[in-house]
Chains A and B, each alone.
Chain A
Amino acid sequence: MKESAVWSINGPVVTIKGATGLQMMEMVYVGKKRLIGEVINISDARTTIQVYEPTTGLAPGEPVIGTDGPLCATLGPGILRNIFDGIQRPLKEISLQSGAFIPEGSDVPSLDMEKKWQVKLSVQKGDQLSEGQIFAVTQETPVIEHRAMVPPGLSGEVVSVVPEGEYTVNDALVVLKDKNGKEQELRLAQKWPIKVRRPVAERLPVDRPLITGQRVIDTLFPMAKGGTAAVPGGFGAGKTMTQHQLAKWSDADIIIYIGCGERGNEMTQVLQEFSELADPKTGSLLTDRTALIANTSNMPVAAREASVYTGITLAEYYRDMGYHVAVMADSTSRWAEALREISGRLEEMPAEEGYPAYLPSRISQFYERAGYMKTLCGKEGSVSIIGAVSPQGADFSEPVTQNTKRFVRCFWALDKALAYARHYPAINWNTSYSEYLDDLAPWYAEHISPDFMQRRREISSLLLEENKLMEIVKLIGSDVLPDDQKLILEAARIIRVGLLQQNAYHQEDTYVPLPKQLKMMEVILYFYEKAKQAVARNIPISEILEQGLSDRLVKMKYDIPNANLELFDDYYKEIDRKINSLLERAI
């Protein structure tokens, strides 16, 4: 162990004078309290360290001890259902040890070292194992089987195997003789440096949707498994709410939720809600498939910078087992600000708005860790990233939003005006986009309906028409429009209120399966077509509206249970009956 002494302290930035022999990105223990830090700059005159914990009370001359390796995540069973801070320390354990507040220098192992897992081994003596191959499994939670893999970079012949039984994460399960004839022990847990992406066999095209049950996303701006999306919005526009909804209902196998520089009470809410809500697919609790990373805004800023990397590393680990993982990062702007803050303390030359010049490359490195992959063990798995962005002053032209836009393919822009009108989710249909439409069209055609994308186009063109007409309405009012244009406004209103608006607190409406989404689109378009016929026959629009059909359509999201889609037939009948009677009278 290399030991040296602290020279200067400025917030989370600590320097050591002279050459130290420490490596770049090496993890170090700083001071008597053994605060965790990372080497970020080396010259022959001084070594700079960023410390992940408060440095209050640290004095020059206190020891700095190297660990010979970078900051690593500990990967193994026990990650799910857990809540960690930005450098993967388990918050529950810390709270048991030191109460309601987090003290400096808490040295708690990431995973429970005592807990015995029921392990089933799948290899025998004499087997050849290659990197990433699964050698043992254990049931981590009722829904997730944890597959222990040979760490990347290691392969060889099995020399000995333990029998099936109960083991801790640190018990040696398999002894492997590697290429150089050295014996290596395989355990349930392995370490991986958080800033390095885990290797895969190959990257596959993204052609399957991440189904979220949120209509505006699934129908208008769908997201692919292995894709990237950004949710930008000013405060109060509903970023966190959208992230929560996606974490709850998206059809990924595993959710990694990163609360990066956000509110403490929000994390408590996630923790509480997820341990009460059931996953619609499996019926088991949402916590059974979720790991939380909570580095709230008042926790140390350097750990905030690390939290997104910790999160994505956990996600890649489960992906390598063959799972579909979705990462929610709330909010990437706080992460960017942490970069800026540390960069400022290092007195680096700032680029735009004080952010360091390497901001775009850091953002792209993060989002590029998403993807649909063939893993080393031959399975398919994916990491999808949904990053919230909190632009300053809700101004989308600021550097974090702009740079994020360049590296994501799905952009769900939240709109303050919609949020003010309590239109949730406040995703603006005019400024949002998804580049996955073409990739996903074949899947929708095969699994939902060949017409799905056509219906989607019709819906979005009605919204576009409305947008154009509203320009006129804003100037002269809607009364002067001809009836066919008034009908477009009415149809668009039904789409906005009935289809796009979704009530997260309503039992039926909070999650809506794709077939119902399609049927809702179809019945709204059917109404529009029928009403258009009536208008063409010079039946006044007011008479059509008097039939109360719009009201029925707007409320169908509540009135038709997700499990009872036959009820849609009644709507067609009612539309036929009411509009046909108008048509008959007109003749």
Chain B
Amino acid sequence: MIEFVGLNAINGPLIVLDGVPKAGYEEQVSLRMANGETRMGRIVQMEGERAVIQVFEGTRGMALDNTRVTFQGHPMEMPLAMELLGRSFNGSGRPIDGMGEIFAETSADINGLPMNPVARVYPRNYINTGISTIDGLATLIRGQKLPIFSGSGMAHDKLAVQIVRQAQLTGTDADNFVIVFAAMGVKNDVADYFRRSFEEAGVMDKVVMFLNLSDDPIIERILAPRCALTTAEYFAFQQGLHVLVIMTDITAYCEALREFSSSKGEIPGRKGFPGYLYSDLASLYERAGIIEGSSGSVTQVPILTMPNDDITHPVPDLTGYITEGQIVLERELDQKGIYPPISVLPSLSRLMKDGIGEGFTRSDHSACSNQLFAAYARVQDARALASVIGEEELAPADKKYILFGRLFEEHFVNQGNLENRTIEQTLNLGWQLLSLLPKEELDRCDAKTLEQFYQPEEARKTFGVSAED
């Protein structure tokens, strides 16, 4: 391999090299500095014999004359083997746990290739998380990408850990379950929290961690999810495992992308983010799924913090357009001390409709969840009215809704961090709460279902309310 000595320009994380006779777009590059340190990079633009290279670890300490560049002849690859399990890596896929290099069985381009829609299997099998709001109202399906929209300071990490701890697959698949965790620009203690929680849950030997902390180079932040997903695809489609990928924090990832884009001098789109943010996010999220001829699956739970709790910010907005639903956390619930503070109305799982009901969860599941959604939407109207005219002045039906709303939040949404509810418990609880409402208000379910589950007497006893309340 030819080594080039010297550079022509350095600009932020980018370096420019002239006189490169033969190099491919997105090819991997290694850079050797005067002090012997080696850094990695990749070609982001080629123009004749001029290559623009992005340096993953940053360009600090580089000078035009002391850097030697070698072109690797292939795009950036991730070494893959079963022994990745239990290991920790940095954002560009190098071990950081001091346990030595990986003996790769194979390796793959970290950018992956688009899945052929014809070869996809439509996800149907649900994952029981033991959390009522998720299982009952926004069911997580194997092969789905279901992000958590959160805000700074809310309990999204705790919720993600609870999902990992409680996520159960049915039957024999339970042993084939591994977790790939990618941290992008998170604080040291957050990464630590995840590591500790995985250890406490006794799953550490089933976890691969990719850590790019908030003080690590931003270019590695862009690579971290790609390395993680390449690893996940290897486990799922070559080893037949069920993989849950947790990526946090997507907002930090997008900000890294913005920083990088502006240093390349690209024309910015909304809020300064590059115009290709949608395509870029899609190239991550669309790597979830199940393919024909393989028993494994890739399920993604990306976590993002909405700047200023604004769901219309480009990051949550574009994410919502790509992912198959979202779980939205709400600050008001959080302040009321409700955990998990899942805001029910905007939360949604698009794949839920085909993965619940007879044969999956229970036949009354969709009636129950539709009715809960509709009733809780009415609660919001009643509350808006009450804030104007006072709760006392409300019509009797509206008062019932206010009561229902309060109990729904306290008993259904609210649950312990260690509480693992079965789907039966969740649905029965839903029906009990609905039974507090007058029967004619329940217009989303047919008479037969109501007959079976509408039991006002029992419900009043459970929640200790009288018929007049």
- By a beta-carbon cutoff of 8 Å, the part of chain A in contact with chain B is 7-11, 15, 17, 54-61, 83, 91-92, 94-95, 99-103, 234-236, 259, 261, 263-265, 267-269, 271-272, 294, 296-301, 334, 337, 340-341, 344, 347, 350, 353-354, 390, 392-395, 416, 420-422, 473-479, 497, 505, 548, 551, 554-555, 558
Contact = CB atoms under 8 A, between A and B. Distances in A.
B325 A236 contact: yes
Interface string B366-391: 10001001100110000011001100
B270 A354 contact: yes
A422 B444 contact: yes
B116 interface: yes
B286 A8 contact: no
Interface in B354-375: 354, 366, 370, 373-374
B117 A264 contact: yes
B202 to A, nearest CB: 32
Contacts of B348: 236
Given A8-B47, A91-B117, A95-B116, A479 B286 contact: no
A55 B282 CA distance: 17
B47 A7 contact: yes
A8 B122 contact: no
A509 B353 CA distance: 17
Nearest to B325: A236
Contacts of B398: 477
A296 B283 CA distance: 10
Q: Pick from A271, A354, A554, A555 the residue with the most CB of B within 10 Å.
A: A354
- The 6 A-B residue pairs whose C-beta atoms are closest, nearest first, are A393-B312, A297-B282, A421-B377, A8-B47, A298-B286, A235-B320
Nearest to B116: A95
Contacts of B322: 263, 297
B173 interface: no
A390 B268 CA distance: 20
Nearest to A551: B440
B267 interface: yes
B83 interface: no
Interface residues of B, number: 87
Given A7-B48, A264-B286, A421-B374, A477 B389 contact: yes
Given A91-B118, A236-B320, A268-B117, A477 B395 contact: yes
Contacts of B326: 235-236
Contacts of A100: 115-116, 119-120, 237, 291-294
Nearest to A479: B395
B113 A102 contact: yes
B107 interface: no
Given A55-B25, A297-B286, A267 B275 contact: no
A236 B74 CA distance: 40
Contacts of A394: 312
Provide the main secondary structure of the chain B interface. mixed
A60 B49 contact: yes
B239 interface: no
A547 to B, nearest CB: 12
B113 A265 contact: no
A56 B27 CA distance: 8
Interface of B: 22-27, 45-49, 74-75, 109, 111-123, 143-144, 237, 266-270, 274-276, 278-279, 282-283, 285-287, 289, 291-294, 311-314, 317-318, 320-322, 324-326, 345-346, 348, 350-351, 353-354, 366, 370, 373-374, 377-378, 384-385, 388-389, 393-395, 398, 440, 443-444, 446
A60 B48 contact: yes
A190 B462 CA distance: 72
B321 A235 contact: yes
B270 A477 contact: no
A59 B117 contact: no
Given A59-B25, A100-B292, A420-B346, A95 B114 contact: no
Contacts of A11: 276
Contacts of A505: 353, 366
B385 A99 contact: no
A213 B121 CA distance: 29
A59 B270 contact: no
Contacts of B47: 7-9, 15, 60
B267 A344 contact: yes
B11 to A, nearest CB: 16
Contact of B373 (A334, A395, A422): A422
26 contacts: A7-B48, A8-B46, A9-B46, A9-B47, A56-B75, A58-B46, A94-B116, A99-B119, A235-B321, A236-B325, A263-B286, A264-B120, A265-B120, A265-B123, A296-B286, A297-B278, A301-B276, A301-B279, A353-B269, A354-B275, A390-B321, A392-B317, A392-B318, A422-B370, A477-B393, A478-B395
Contacts of B117: 83, 91, 259, 264, 267-268, 271, 294, 296
A422 B122 contact: no
Q: Pick from A101, A554, A555 the residue with the most CB of B within 10 Å.
A: A101
Contacts, number: 224
A476 B389 CA distance: 6
Contacts of B353: 505
A354 B268 contact: yes
Given A392-B312, A395-B312, A56 B111 contact: yes
Contacts of B23: 59
A361 to B, nearest CB: 19
Contacts of B377: 420-422
Given A9-B25, A393-B312, A477-B385, A296 B275 contact: no
Contact of A101 (B48, B115, B274): B115
A54 B444 CA distance: 47
B75 A268 contact: no
A8 B48 contact: yes
A296 B114 contact: yes
A337 B117 CA distance: 21
B448 to A, nearest CB: 11
A344 B48 CA distance: 21
A52 B320 CA distance: 26
Nearest to B312: A393
Contacts of B395: 477-479
A17 B48 contact: yes
B114 to A, nearest CB: 5
A99 B443 CA distance: 47
Contacts of B313: 393
B51 to A, nearest CB: 9
Contacts of A347: 267
Given A57-B26, A58-B25, A421-B377, A103 B346 contact: no
A265 B324 contact: yes
Given A341-B279, A475-B389, 11 more contacts: A9-B25, A57-B74, A101-B116, A102-B113, A265-B324, A300-B114, A344-B266, A353-B270, A420-B373, A474-B385, A558-B446
A56 B24 contact: yes
Nearest to A391: B317
A532 to B, nearest CB: 22
B118 A271 contact: yes
A486 to B, nearest CB: 11
B25 A56 contact: yes
A475 B23 CA distance: 69
A386 B237 CA distance: 37
B289 A265 contact: yes
A362 to B, nearest CB: 16
A235 B317 contact: yes
Contacts of B26: 55-57
Contact of A421 (B116, B144, B373): B373
Contact of B122 (A83, A103, A268, A297): A268
B27 A57 contact: yes
